[in-house]
Structure 1
Amino acid sequence: MKSKKIIAAVLLAGLLVSCATGGSVKSNGGGKRKPGWVDDKHSVYPNDKYLVEIGEGSSLKSSKQNGQASLARIFKTTIQVDSTVSTRYKDLSDGKTILESQMETTADESITQLSDETLINVHFGESWTNDEGRVYVVAYIDRMETANIYRQRIDNDANRTDLFIRKSAGQSDLIRRYGFLDAARVMDSEIQSLREQLEIIYQPFARAVMLPYNPEELGSLHADTAEDMVYTIALEGDEKGKVAAVVSQVLTDRGFSVFDESAPLSVRGRISMEEVTLNNDYKNLRWNLFLEMRNEKGEVVVTMEEKQRETAISLDEAEARAYRSMEEMMQKKFIGALESYFDSYAGN
């Protein structure tokens, strides 16, 4: 089977950055004597040079998938990645997120996406089919080759993180100053994840990583700047103060501060609820929530408007559901809109 060179890459999305499969596959065919690597994977691929697993399945494709999944479990037991951070990382990276490496793949080979994670630089070696039709294949990662890919990615991301930190120091706008630091924290989180993976792949390279910034100092600066993000909250129609309380909680959960008196930043908005009559046997309540965040100059930087109808056996229950829905919207969309605002200029 003729093999060809490809450049494989896919961003870190979830857990182990992007996936590229490769390696020529030599089939021994059914009925042939079982090769030694089926029972002793390190007989052909020594542990000091390769991460290796044996995939087994009813077909070559399924055995490859099984081999990739087994390799992924080596990382999955020790590494946890926040999906929100990974998503923001994609927007904040410098557009050079492709992890490039030269590798071989057979012409009929397809790249298989695992359910919740992908692997960098997976190759496939020999395959063998027993008399019952079960297919076995070697799935492996070349430690040194893959470590070089990780090291390049870490270096690129670390330089971009350092750039965000330096840009933050030059901002007079408090929200923008914090936004650059928040972007730096997102990048640093992914860098730390990559370093953990690199520890598994090739420890000497992981230990040799030198960052142009201090992660602990970045964390402290990020927290201190968040404390300077002081808000007042003013919401029309919120007589019971329930929505203001939720907004306050959302902001403080993010590390910001809320004061009743004057503050450099503000969240303003309005809330309305009205009973509506529908052709059903329940009580129906329509609500509308509008929020806007303003910077020190009073300029609007983030807005959110949501409308929804709640149905329950009583108005009190419908109102309770409305407040719960508003809280969910604020947790997901308001802070999400703020993070998008941060990332919109940090990513440029």
Structure 2
Amino acid sequence: MTKSVFIIGAVLGMLVGCATPGEQTTAAGGYPEWFLNPSNVYPQERYMSAVGSGRDRRDAEQQALAALSQAFEVEIRVDETTRERYRELMTDSGTMTESEIDLTQVRDVRSAQTLLNVQFGDAFMAPDNRVHIVAYLERMATGRLYVDLINRNEAQVSDYLAEANGSQDPLRRYAFLSAAEAVAANNEMLRDQLRIISQPMSATLPSGNSRSAIVSRRTDAAESLPVAIRVTGDAENRILPILRRAVAAERFPITDSAAVLTVEGAFEIEPIDLNPDFESVAWAFSATFGRSGGTSLLSYSDQGRASGITVERATALAYEDMAVSVEQGFARDLRRFLNELVLGSN
């Protein structure tokens, strides 16, 4: 059955005699006032609200939350990797709690209720047995929450920049600048969301640290840390390009000489007896990230098995699994290592 979602329209001024939000005020025909005339109950200058409809109350709530989430479709986007890094930095340092982070991260419908500080009015069942419900938030209360989070983020960015300025180690300096960019990126998104919630409150905030300036400094810091990548066992050159991309994602330049940092990778694939109906191979991947000259900073390893109708197919699947290991596992551990450089200084 098609789900209906109705976005609450804006009104120009406060209406006299409005019903109290959340009340099941009945209008003509037995329908609640908030369903027939939502702006009478939830004036736009005080509330953000939306009505959702579904098979049951839970379904209707999800649709109402989805509608509210659409109001936060801002121009500024933060990729999932940066979101997760922001979460780790802020929670592991004790600057914010997990629930406070959730307040500002819209990823799906279920996260919207926490994000938006949402309340629900009473549910209403229409003659067609469809359930309708209104979800709403108070602009001022939610705006104050955002202002607090934004100010705390700005303070954290300033602390990271100060640490970067005082660091004599180029890798530590890069780590602090990278952390500052992650927090600044999320704060930029929060500022954009606050403009939607309350333009007057947004206008009172100082401009804060420039993300573009931080990005420029991070790029300059990375340029002083060229990385040499050497691998064994990748005869078909399938994994090396993926490993290069994982390192380059941190903006480190790749070099064949005069390296400051190194990545030593090893890939192995060998046939095994696993299932008589299929051909199977075992694979293993390991990588060491360190300083040129032999100091190891990070070690990563992963292994698995793959099966196919032919050895060639099993091998192809093994390479796919190893590619995921590099793109997700090794890259994730490299980011965590950088986070540890930052958090370990606290």
Q: What TM bracket, shorter-length normalisation? A: 0.7 to 0.9
The residue type equivalent to 2:34 in the other structure is W
CA RMSD in angstroms, aligned pairs only: 3.2
Partner Cα distance (1:28, 1:260) in 2: 73
Q: Helix, strand or coil: the match of 1:75?
A: coil
Of 136, 139, 160, which residue of structure 2 is paired with 1:140? 136
Partner residue in 1 for 2:163:
167
Of 189, 202, 207, which residue of structure 2 is paired with 1:206? 202
Alignment of 1:18-57 (within 5 A): 25-28=22-25, 33-57=30-54
What is the deviation of 1:202? 0.8
What is the deviation of 1:281? 5.1
The residue type equivalent to 1:42 in the other structure is S
What is the deviation of 1:71? 1.5
For the structure 1 residues 253 and 47, does the alpha-carbon distance in structure 2 shift closer, same or farther, using more than 3 Å as the test?
Answer: same
What is the deviation of 1:36? 3.5
Partner residue in 2 for 1:153:
149
Alignment of 1:276-315 (within 5 A): 276-280=272-276, 282-296=278-292, 298-315=294-311
What is the deviation of 1:340? 0.9
What is the deviation of 1:125? 4.3
Alignment of 1:222-237 (within 5 A): 222-237=218-233
Contact map agreement 1:183 1:346 (CA 8 A) in 2:
yes
Indicate the larger mover: 141-150 or 231-240: 231-240
Contact map agreement 2:185 2:211 (CA 8 A) in 1:
no
Partner residue in 1 for 2:96:
97
What is the deviation of 1:254? 3.5
Q: Which has the higher contact order (CA 8 A, sep 6+)?
A: 1
Partner residue in 1 for 2:69:
72
Q: Helix, strand or coil: the match of 2:174?
A: helix
Partner residue in 1 for 2:216:
220
Q: Helix, strand or coil: the match of 1:84?
A: helix
Query: Deviations along 1:272-315, whole A, 9 cap, x unmatched?
Result: 33333455254433222211000256322221112223334444
Q: Helix, strand or coil: the match of 2:71?
A: helix
Indicate the larger mover: 304-313 or 157-166: 304-313
Contact map agreement 1:30 1:133 (CA 8 A) in 2:
no
Of 311, 332, 338, which residue of structure 1 is paired with 2:328? 332
Partner Cα distance (2:76, 2:33) in 1: 32
For the structure 1 residues 273 and 53, does the alpha-carbon distance in structure 2 shift closer, same or farther, using more than 3 Å as the test?
Answer: closer
Contact map agreement 1:231 1:265 (CA 8 A) in 2:
yes
Q: Report how many aligned residue pairs link the two structures.
A: 314
Which has a greater percent of strand? 1
Gapped regions of structure 1 (runs ≥ 5): 1-22, 101-112
Partner residue in 2 for 1:115:
110
| TM-score normalised to structure 2 length | 0.78
* Identical counterparts, % of pairs: 26
Gapped regions of structure 2 (runs ≥ 5): 1-19, 101-107
Partner residue in 2 for 1:87:
84
Contact map agreement 2:27 2:36 (CA 8 A) in 1:
no
Alignment of 1:257-276 (within 5 A): 257-276=253-272
The residue type equivalent to 2:110 in the other structure is S
Partner residue in 2 for 1:188:
184
Q: Helix, strand or coil: the match of 1:257?
A: coil
Indicate the larger mover: 35-44 or 51-60: 51-60
Partner Cα distance (1:207, 1:56) in 2: 35
Partner Cα distance (2:213, 2:326) in 1: 30
Contact map agreement 1:233 1:266 (CA 8 A) in 2:
yes
Contact map agreement 1:54 1:67 (CA 8 A) in 2:
yes
